[in-house]
Structure 1
Amino acid sequence: MIEMGDGKLYGYAGKILRIDLSKGKIVKEDTRIELLKLYLGGTGYAARILWDELEKGIDPLSPQNKLIASTGPLTGTLTPSSGSVEFCFKSPLTGIFGQARAGGRFGPKLKFAGYDFLIIEGAAEKPVYINIYNDDVEIRDASRIWGKTVHETCKILFEEVGDPDASIACIGPGGERLIRFASIMVDYDRAAGRCGGGAVMGSKKLKAIVVNGDRSIEAARPDEFYEAAKEALEVVGRKRMDLGRLGTIGGLTRLNESGALPAKNFQTCYYEYAENLSGEELARKYLIKRRACFSCPIGCGRYVAVPSGPYATPPHEGAEYETTDMLGVQPLLRELEPVIRAGYLCNTYGIDTISAGNVIAFAIEAFEKGLISEEDTGGLKLRWGDPEACLKLLEMIIERRGIGDLLAEGVRRAAEKIGRGAEDFACHGKGLEIPAHDTRGTSKNLAIQYAIGNPRGACHIEPAWAALWDFSRIEMELRELGLPWPPPE
């Protein structure tokens, strides 16, 4: 499967790039075949490295933590949707295994440079970024871009390296300020958002990683692989479940009708104004064009803008389903413009939209219950349906200003600090804020995954197909994946 009789490693680059920022040391190692046979690659391989190499009880924001960018055997191939990269680390938000995935092209570019995994350890004394092109690897000074937003950083670095075809993973001020749910952003707007990987990068004074290469990935039987990939591309292209036309936000009204749309800090799973925040509304008023990740026929990315008005927002890729629910439905906003603005701020300052929306809704409920006051919020009245208050509170979180400093620690820590029953409505699994799929309207499977089934906490990604399989009220083209429909009782 991995190593053929000719001794070649197919589907893999065969190398690991390890960089110690404390020592300024760059080492290239062989990818371990015995671990590939156990885990194939990707998250499993990275988790094993963390298990073997991290000392028990380390502070996730200390130099002892490691950040691993991981790929799998299909990354960078013709296989549909093979452009993702997984970042793995000990999470500063949960204190356990952390994992965050980003689409785009960073994963393929890492493979094209000749590496299956990139391991970052230690911490630099001053801000740095890493530039990788095949065997040429440099640790460069990043002092002049420290403090810049994600969009500013990407623009500067693309110009500085002179390679528009490269891929950039970077942090914004959110990561620099060690916000515990800071994201790692890829090529402007693709977010590895969950678990606080951006804070891990910030603690290492690592502003960005730039990568490109010109190496190829070999298949053991190229002709057969090409035919299989071609067939998969055709199937995925046909069965896009409206993702191409409306993007992930297209599922918002469908989930609302099924009683699976979390609103008002999970107090309810139906929102009467969901149509105002729908994919159709986005397409009518704010959509500029679609965007797709590497080797993906779907193109679910939405390039959007709000051209004028109080919520004017420049063109960017955003308005995903999770973002729209968490920053729009959860605080009960009734129009898309402030939601688009909030999502843009999260992206360019580098924080997770899911966690950000959770802590905002939590804060509104805490204010409503009298557990925090205007004195705590600096005079800001937190009310459901108030876009101005939501945006101001988001800015306070981004800046770690006032009560925003507490909320930047995540909903679990904030609730523990506030006390007096706040823990009862702090919605998280193992410290990771719950995403925008209400288990009361989806599946028992997903509820179990949120509570105990996923090692990183409340996650909707890895149990997604299992959840859809027993979510028998929606036909999701699962026959094409070999699953019976309708599912058996």
Structure 2
Amino acid sequence: MLHAEGPLLTVDLDAREATTEDVDDTLARFIGGRGVNTALAYDRIPFDADPFGPENRVYLSTGPMQASRMSFTGRMAATALSPLTGGLLSSNAGGFLSRNFAGTGNAAVELVGAADELLAVHVRDDGVEFEPVPDLAGAEVPEVTEWAEAEHDLEAEHLACIGPAGENQVRFASVMTSESRAFGRGGIGAVLGAKNVKALTFEGDAAPEIDVDATAMDVHREAATSEHIMKRQGTTSVTDLANEVEAFPTRYFSETSYERAESINGDAVESKKFKKGTCSQCAFACKLPTKDEAAGVETEGPEFETVMSFGGNCDEDDIVEVMRSNEQCDRYGLDTISAGDTVAAYLASEDAFGDTELIHELVDKIAHREGIGDTLAEGVDRVHGELGVDNWTVKGMDFPAHDGRTLNGQGLSFAVANRGADHMYATFYAYEYPLVSKEEAFDPEGLPPEKVERLVEVENTRALEDCGIVCRFSRGMMTPERFEALFEADYDDLLAVGDRVVTLERRFNNERGFSRADDTLPYSLDGFHDALDAYYDQRGWNPDGTVPPDAASGATGEASAD
């Protein structure tokens, strides 16, 4: 089975030392990316660790596809104990960092401990440098990017950093790379803030040689020649469909469609797009550089989830103002989904939907933990009672769009995902809108056994992609046959890798106290509890949502204690 190559680089922030070790067995079993991160975290992060404590660790990695020139491979993975959910969480970012990371010669990087002053950590193919950066305290992401170029002659694609939100340990702070791309969900930026790491840079010419099958060029060719609407509108191309079928959360989830969605839809975003945008090596080019000269706003996006969170959910119908919110989040290093939902929760509590000035003011205050922003920086799960609003989270994770009250399989996916309410964990919405062929599609209503079976399969497939690492938007081009050719293994064996990743995440979270009681939703779905039973049975887990010892030992590759 094809897998990433290279050692694990451990960066000790307390001692300011770096060491490497062989992790070939882990790479062979988990390929790379999310899988390798999860396996290492499972072995090395104490189950009772404080997400903000020095015992938490951050893992960064690529996979074997980053050795190719294939489209959909400009991505990498980050994993840590999440300060938002309290569970193990992996996030995935695009842009141009992954190949510079691979150039250092490492398969994965592990950050341990915590520094006693604000640092930039420079990882090169010939070693690691620890640089105190007191002058960057409070700096926004563009300022850090300018610093890296001015002081180290490194452009944005060499940089991963946090903004004020990460330094202030906002529980949904992002790690930013390529200035506008985010390891967005779950607050890994806040973990870096707790470790006093402002920036990481990666540079080198020591990328391992990995021979990737010629099938990669077939995928690349299709990406280049496709006339997919996402090349014009990115993920916002689904806005009208989601709104039409009533899967577009509005006014803090009180409604499922937005009467003014046309003003913030894909056409509206496309009208502000001024050039093409892409990730490393990708010919699909689905990113959205946008600007409005009259308003003085330039950003990348908003993507669909931001259109929902800062648009419909906040009752903001001006696309330029949604762009402005997107730009604020990128500058400060905030997850746009959690930030928008949290702002929407406050607007609901104050009966202030549509107050544009307040929306932007709240984003500022959250990033700096000023006034009410200090409360909101804790996230909806922790403050909904104080605000007097419903708790629209799963496992502490704020909801994206693709409303499960309409798309019931996606609703089940939100409930069972180890990451919490996250649409990318399984992307089951694609089968219910549908965005796939008629033969693959499901009626959005109901939770029959065949939906549950398919959900398990697509969760495993998404985990496999995150090990590879291959972008979600390769859907339709990355067929089972192409997976087999590229990764040099039978498809069932590859899906088994994905299953091991999901199982290890679940087992780690079980040790943190997560169980069936956390696989829940803030609304009712017919047949939900039967579907939960079927999901656990399909995965070979216990009826209480925990992983039995034999399944856990199978995932780790260790002999069962029994």
With normalisation by structure 1, the TM-score equals 0.86
Q: Give 1:471 deviation, angstroms.
A: 3.6
Closer, same or farther: CA 165–144 of 1 in aligned 2, 3 Å: closer
SS in structure 1 of the partner of residue 90 of structure 2: strand
Closer, same or farther: CA 265–57 of 1 in aligned 2, 3 Å: same
Cα deviation per residue 1:169-193 (whole Å; 9 max; x = unaligned)?
A: 0000000111000000002100111
Q: Give 1:257 deviation, angstroms.
A: 1.8
Q: Give 1:239 deviation, angstroms.
A: 4.2
Q: Which residue of 1 aligns with 2:43?
A: 52
Where does structure 2 lack aligned partners over 5 or more consecutive residues?
Answer: 441-474, 481-562
- 2:63 is equivalent to residue 64 of structure 1: no
Q: Is contact 1:67–1:87 with CA below 8 Å preserved after alignment?
A: yes
Distance 1:244 1:18 in 2: 39
- 2:286 is equivalent to residue 300 of structure 1: yes
SS in structure 1 of the partner of residue 425 of structure 2: coil
Q: Which residue of 2 aligns with 1:487?
A: none
Q: Which residue of 2 aligns with 1:380?
A: none
Q: Which residue of 2 aligns with 1:394?
A: 363
- 2:462 is equivalent to residue 462 of structure 1: no
Partner amino acid, structure 2, of 1:437? H
Q: Which residue of 2 aligns with 1:75?
A: 66
2:257 maps to which of 267, 270, 274: 270
Distance 1:166 1:301 in 2: 15
Higher relative contact order (CA 8 A, sep 6+): 2
Q: Which residue of 2 aligns with 1:17?
A: 9
Q: Is contact 1:262–1:330 with CA below 8 Å preserved after alignment?
A: yes
Distance 2:436 2:68 in 1: 32
Cα deviation per residue 1:399-438 (whole Å; 9 max; x = unaligned)?
A: 21222111100000011444x6x3xx22111001011221
Closer, same or farther: CA 166–102 of 1 in aligned 2, 3 Å: closer
Q: Which residue of 2 aligns with 1:191?
A: 182
1:37 maps to which of 28, 32, 35: 28
Distance 1:17 1:345 in 2: 33
* Higher normalized strand content (fraction of residues): 1
Q: Tell me how many residue pairs correspond in the alignment.
A: 445
Q: Is contact 1:41–1:73 with CA below 8 Å preserved after alignment?
A: yes
* Higher normalized helix content (fraction of residues): 2
Distance 2:368 2:137 in 1: 15
Partner amino acid, structure 2, of 1:307? E
Distance 1:479 1:103 in 2: 19
With normalisation by structure 2, the TM-score equals 0.76
37-46 or 197-206: which moved more?
Answer: 37-46
Distance 2:157 2:261 in 1: 39
2:193 maps to which of 174, 199, 202: 202
Distance 1:288 1:153 in 2: 25
Q: Give 1:345 deviation, angstroms.
A: 0.6
Cα deviation per residue 1:230-278 (whole Å; 9 max; x = unaligned)?
A: 1011223344631111122222122212222111111222111111112
Q: Is contact 2:11–2:112 with CA below 8 Å preserved after alignment?
A: yes
Q: Give 1:43 deviation, angstroms.
A: 0.9
- Runs of 4+, deviation exceeding 6 Å: 476-479
Where does structure 1 lack aligned partners over 5 or more consecutive residues?
Answer: 3-10, 369-382, 484-489
209-218 or 430-439: which moved more?
Answer: 209-218
Partner amino acid, structure 2, of 1:231? D
Distance 2:432 2:270 in 1: 30
Cα deviation per residue 1:178-222 (whole Å; 9 max; x = unaligned)?
A: 1000000002100111000110000011000011221344334x5
